[in-house]
Amino acid sequence: MEEDFDIIKNLFEYWKIVKKRKKMIIALTFSIVLLVGIFSLMQPRKYESTTVIEIGKINNKLAIHPLQFKEFIMLTIFSKYENPEWGLNIITPDEYIYKKFNDYDSFNYLIIKVSASDQNISKKISLKIIEQSFEYVDKIINEEKDLIIEEYNESIRFSEENYKKEIENINKEIEQVNMNIDLFKKDIERLEIQINSLSSSSLSSEGISKSTLITSIIDSYKSRLLNEENKKLWLEKRLKDEKLNLEETKIFERLELENKLKDIKDSKIISGPYAKPKARGTKNKVLFAFAAALSFSILLALMLEWSKKIK
């Protein structure tokens, strides 16, 4: 109870000191706030250029993560511009959204804000930063494009080589079949001549038997000749089919290549750069100055009063 009374007594003493030196406290607080306000208003006007860019994609996946892209721009590109008057702020998709949806690739944009004392300078810096950053991302994208095109060319080369080998084998088979056809035709022609020579003379029983045998051989040769001719037709059809298959393969591979390239999207500017005056923040500065100045003035008043009592 006694301690509570002492606390109230001390607070009352402090209040009496503040009341006694209120003019000094008000004057000092007002002076500091006024100086801060004037200083803030006298600061050079800054302009902020805002640009929204879309990060390129490869197979519906970001070519580079937005946070990694932000780090590259700030540490590699903007660090080259050694001017304390210039400022850079890069806004990436909200981390909370990343964690909630666990889907980084749905948020493929960055908001780049560049501040400078001149409106045109802020725009030029923005465009320069975007140009250099796009070169970095495009290098990644172009490497992927080159890889896809190389895979396509390799597939076409493989198909053409297989086609050439297959055509070569088929032509060899056709060549062999043509030789067999010529042999069968010659043999049939030779045997038919023999039969004609036998039929033109008086046939004995032995001659008739020989004629019958030759006729059966001719029939066998004709059957085999027919088989070889059918085989030739089938091989010729295979030649056409192989050529058609190659053309179809090329068309399919071309369509697949186009689909893969469609899934690759280059980085681009969605909007901007738009430059507008940047808020000076005078109100916040004045409020902070008022709180700080008031606290300092009260503390100074207490210290003066205590030093006076000590003397």
**pLDDT for 239-252, tens place per residue?**
898 888 888 888 89
- Confidence grade of residue 22 (pLDDT, cut at 50, 70, 90): confident
Residue pointed to by tokens 């079949």: 177
The residue among 252 and 92 whose pLDDT is bigger is 252
Average pLDDT of the segment spanning 90-116: 61
- Decide if pLDDT at 308 tops 50: yes
Residue with the bigger pLDDT between 157 and 262: it is 157
Name the burial class of residue 78, with classes exposed (0-12), middle (13-18) and buried (19+) by CB atoms within 10 angstroms of its CB. buried
pLDDT of the residue at 291: 82
265: nearest Cα among 111, 144, 116: 144
Mean pLDDT computed over 92-100: 50
CATH of the domain spanning 47-141+266-277, picked from 3.30.230.10, 3.50.50.60, 3.30.70.600, 3.30.1330.50? 3.30.70.600
Phi-psi label, residue 293: left if phi above 0, alpha if psi -120 to 50, beta otherwise: alpha
Q: Are 58 and 67 in contact (CB under 8 A)?
A: no
Distance in Å from the first CA to the final CA of the chain: 33
Coil/strand/helix, residue 110? strand
How confident is the model over 107-147, as pLDDT tens digits? Answer: 677 788 887 777 787 788 888 888 888 888 888 888 888 88
Look over the chain and give the mean of its residue pLDDT values, rounded to a whole number. Answer: 77
Residue 98, pLDDT score? 47
Tokens read off for 177: 């079949």
**Contacts of residue 271, Cβ cutoff 8 Å, sequence gap at least 6:** 51, 52
Confidence band for 99, pLDDT divided at 50, 70 and 90: very low
pLDDT at 254 exceeding the cut of 80: yes
Residues paired with residue 276 on neighbouring β-strands, in sequence order: 48
Using DSSP's 3-state secondary structure scheme, residue 204 falls into: coil
Per-residue pLDDT reduced to its tens digit, 172-226: 999 999 999 999 889 888 888 877 776 555 455 555 677 777 788 888 888 898 9
Strands, E, within the chain: which ranges? 47-54, 57-58, 61-62, 87-91, 109-116, 264-265, 268-277
Burial zone of 40 (CB within 10 Å; 0-12 exposed, 13-18 middle, 19+ buried): middle
Listed by start position, the domains of the chain span 2-43+282-310, 47-141+266-277, 147-264
Predicted confidence at residue 100, as pLDDT, reads 45
pTM of the complete model = 0.56
At 2, the pLDDT band (50, 70, 90 cuts) reads very low
